[in-house]
Structure 1
Amino acid sequence: MSASSTPALPTSAYADGPRLLADVGGTNARFALEVAAGQVGQVEVLPCADYPSLSAALQAYLALPQVAAAGGQAVRHAVIAIANPVAGDFLSMTNHHWSFSIRAMREECGFTTLDVVNDFTALARAVPMLSEHEKRQVGAGTARPNTAIGLIGAGTGLGVSGLIPSHGGWIALQSEGGHVNFAPFNELEVAILQFAWREFEHVSAERLISGDGLELIYRALAERAGVADEKLPAAEITRRALAGESPLCDDVIETFCCMLGTVAANVAVTLGALGGIYIGGGIVPRLGERFDRSGFRARFERKGRFANYVSQVPTFVITAQYPAFLGTSAILAEKLSSH
C-alpha cells in the first residue's frame, strides 16, 4: 500500500463507499481515504491546535473540496489511531486537550462504524507490511522468523507496542510503555534525572524521550555546562544540531539517542523481541544519518549479561511516510469482515 496526496481518486471499489483512516497525535491529525483495498489517497495533515475538537478536525477534512469530490461525504466506516490509551467509550488525550465519546462522535459524523485504537497498536500492525525501502536497519542483528517484534517511537510522546506471532498472523499489544520510570544509564543521565525531578514528581521515559524531552534535556545540559538557556524549542534544537551550529544542541541529540537505546533494549528483553525492534514516531526519522552514527546502537547492546542476546536483535528505523495507515486499514478490514 502507498499513501499519497493525489488530487483525485477513481471510483471506490468498496461497495459501501470509501473508508476513512486517521492517525491522531498530540500535534497533528493525519487523515486519508481508502477507496479500495490497498489504495489510499487524499492524505491531509491538520494541526490539532487549529481545531476545538477531533470531530471538528475530522469533519473539516471530509468537507475539503478534493476529499468531498473523492467520496468523503459518503464515508460510513472509519478507524482512528490515537496517541492515547483506549479503554471504554470516553477518551481524554494525554498530550492534547481533546476529549470525546466514541459513540457520540460516530453518531455526530453519521458513521455506521467507528473504531478507535491506540496509535502504536496500529503502527505495530503495519510493521509486517513494510517493504524493504520503507525501513532502514541500524547496526547488526538478524530477525528470527515467528518471534516477537518490538516497536518504539518518539514524537509528541513516546509510543511503545509489540507484535506477538499467533497462528500465522499477529497480535498487536496495547501498551503504554512510554510511561515507565526513566532509567538513567550513567552519571550524566542521573544528573538529567535530578534536574527533571525539580519539575516532575514522576519522571517517565516519555518526559525525556519526546519533543518536550529534547527541550528538557537541553535545559539540563545548559545548566550543567554553565551556559545560558536560550529556551529553544525542539525543532530549533534539532536544526542547530543537524546544521553543526551548536555543540550543546548536538550533545542533546546524542543524549536523546542513547536514552532511546536504553528503552529499546528494555523493550527487546521484555518482549523477547528477536524479530527486531522498529523505531517510528516523528523525531528519529528526521535525524537521518545523525541517528545512525549516534550512540543508539552501542547503548542498545550494552545490556550486561544480556549483551549477547540483544546484539542479535536487529533495529530498524521506519522510513515510510504514513505507516500508520497500513495498520488502520488492516484493523478496519478485520472489523468489517467479522460482522
Structure 2
Amino acid sequence: MAKTFNTSDPLSFPILIGDIGGTNARFSLLVDAYAEPREFPIVHTADFPTVDAAIQAGVMDKTSLQPRSAILAVAGPIRGDEIPLTNCDWVIKPKDMISALGLEDVVIINDFEAQALAIANMPDEFREPIAPRPDTMVASRVVLGPGTGLGVAGLVHAEERWIPVPGEGGHIDVGPRTDRDYQIFPHIKTIEGRVAAEQILCGRGMVNLYNAICAADGIEARPFEPKDVSHAGLDGSDPQAVETLSLFSTYLGRIAGDMAMVFMARGGVYLAGGISQKILPALKKPEFRAAFEDKAPHNALMQSIPTYVVTHPLAALAGLATYARTPLRFGLALDGRRWRD
C-alpha cells in the first residue's frame, strides 16, 4: 500500500503531468516551478495496452529530459495499488510504473479533483459566463463535466486553502418532473433498474436521451453518434435532436443546481469538458439557468450563484501544474495515493 505523505513534501522536478480519461490521455512535462508545461500530442487510450506503454511512446520517447516524478489524474476511484479506470480498460499500477519508467515518485488523484484544482484560479479568458452574475466571493465551488461519463467535484475554501472534494456524483439518481419527462423517462436505458445522471448527461447519455425522445414520439431514431445529435440539435435539422439539447441543458441545470446547494457553492459552478464547450449555444439558452435556479424555497440563493463553461483546452493539466508549483495552496490529501521508489 502507499505510504503516508503530506502536501508539504513536494514532488521533484521535472514532473510528468497526465490527465487520463476514458477516451483520451493528455500529458505535459513541467521542468520547474516557473516554466510553462511542455505539451505532448493527445494519446488515444484504445491505441495502447497499458498506461505505461502510452507514457513511454507519448512522452519518454519524445524528450531527452526525463521526468523524476508524476502526478496523474484518472477517471475512477483510487483504492489500493491497482486502480482500474471507469470507462477504459487500463489498470494503473503505480509500483509497476515506477519500475518501468524510472520514476521516483507517483501521485494519483481523481480526474475531477484536477478539474477542481483548475477552477481555483481560472482566468476570465477561459471561463464563459452563462447568465452573468457578480463574481466577488472567495467561496466554495463545484465543477461538472459531461464527457465519456459525468464527472463531479467540489472545491471547498477553508483556512486560506482550496480543498478539492472528489466523488461519484455522476452516478446519483435523476427522475422526471414534467409531463414530458414522464413520457420520455420510461424509454431511457437504466442501470439495474435506475436512471443515473450519467445515463443522460454524457456522450452516450445524449444518444440515450435522443433515442428515448424518438421512442416517446413513436418514430425511428436515426443512427446518431453524440456529435451527430449535438450538430443536428444546434443547426435545427432534426426536431428530436433539438429537444435533446434542450432537455440535456435542463437536466444538467438541475444536477448543477443540486450540487451547488450541497456544497453551498457561492463561488460558482463550472461546466468542464468538451461537450459543454460544443453545446455552449444551447447552454446559453434559458433552459439551463431556469432549471439551475428552480430550487424553491432557495430560488433567490440560486439566482446569486454564477455559472460558467470552462473553455481552457487543457484545464485538468493546468490544475495539476498549479498544484505541482504551489502545493501549500491546496489541501490535497495524499494518503493512499502516493507511491515512492
TM over 0.5: yes
Q: Which moved more, 1:41-50 or 1:148-157?
A: 41-50
Determine if the alignment matches structure 1 residue 102 to structure 2 residue 99: no
Q: Which moved more, 1:197-206 or 1:251-260?
A: 197-206
Quickly say closer, same or farther: Cα 1:106–1:202, change in 2 above 3 A: farther
Distance 1:80 1:16 in 2: 14
Aligned 8 A contact 2:211 2:221 in 1: yes
**Residues 148-195 of structure 1: per-residue CA shift (max 9 Å, x gap):** 111111000111111111221210002111111123332323333322
Aligned to 2:38: 41
Match of residue 121, structure 1, among 113, 117, 127: 113
Match of residue 24, structure 1, among 16, 20, 25: 20
Match of residue 55, structure 2, among 46, 55, 58: 58
Aligned 8 A contact 1:78 1:332 in 2: no
Aligned to 1:148: 140
Quickly say closer, same or farther: Cα 1:190–1:197, change in 2 above 3 A: farther
Determine if the alignment matches structure 1 residue 68 to structure 2 residue 68: no
Matched residue of 2:114: which SS?
helix
Matched residue of 1:94: which SS?
coil
Q: For 1:140-289, list aligned pairs within 5 A.
A: 140-196=132-188, 200-289=192-281
1:63, distance to aligned residue in structure 2 (A): 4.0
Matched residue of 2:188: which SS?
helix
1:17, distance to aligned residue in structure 2 (A): 5.1
Match of residue 306, structure 2, among 286, 299, 314: 314
**Residues 40-75 of structure 1: per-residue CA shift (max 9 Å, x gap):** 1223211111111222111111244xx324x2xx11
Aligned to 1:5: none
Distance 1:185 1:107 in 2: 53
Where do 5+ consecutive residues of structure 2 fail to align?
1-10, 335-339
Matched residue of 2:151: which SS?
strand
Aligned 8 A contact 1:22 1:31 in 2: yes
**Residues 264-322 of structure 1: per-residue CA shift (max 9 Å, x gap):** 00001111111111110220111232321251011111112111111111101111111
Quickly say closer, same or farther: Cα 1:305–1:86, change in 2 above 3 A: same
Aligned 8 A contact 1:242 1:250 in 2: yes
Distance 2:196 2:32 in 1: 41
Distance 2:181 2:102 in 1: 50
Q: Which moved more, 1:214-223 or 1:320-329?
A: 320-329
Number of aligned positions between the proteins:
320
Q: Which moved more, 1:135-144 or 1:111-120?
A: 135-144
Aligned 8 A contact 1:115 1:332 in 2: no
Aligned 8 A contact 1:140 1:311 in 2: no
Determine if the alignment matches structure 1 residue 112 to structure 2 residue 116: no
Aligned 8 A contact 1:159 1:281 in 2: no
Quickly say closer, same or farther: Cα 1:213–1:100, change in 2 above 3 A: same
Give me the identity figure in percent: 28
Counterpart AA for 2:188: A
Distance 2:107 2:318 in 1: 15
1:335, distance to aligned residue in structure 2 (A): 6.1
Counterpart AA for 1:28: N
Distance 1:25 1:172 in 2: 18
Matched residue of 2:31: which SS?
strand
Where do 5+ consecutive residues of structure 1 fail to align?
1-14
Match of residue 302, structure 1, among 271, 291, 294: 294
1:221, distance to aligned residue in structure 2 (A): 0.6
Aligned to 1:7: none
Matched residue of 2:220: which SS?
coil
Quickly say closer, same or farther: Cα 1:335–1:56, change in 2 above 3 A: farther
> Relative contact order, CA 8 A, sep 6+: which one is greater?
2
- CA-based RMSD of the aligned residues comes to 2.3
1:106, distance to aligned residue in structure 2 (A): 2.2
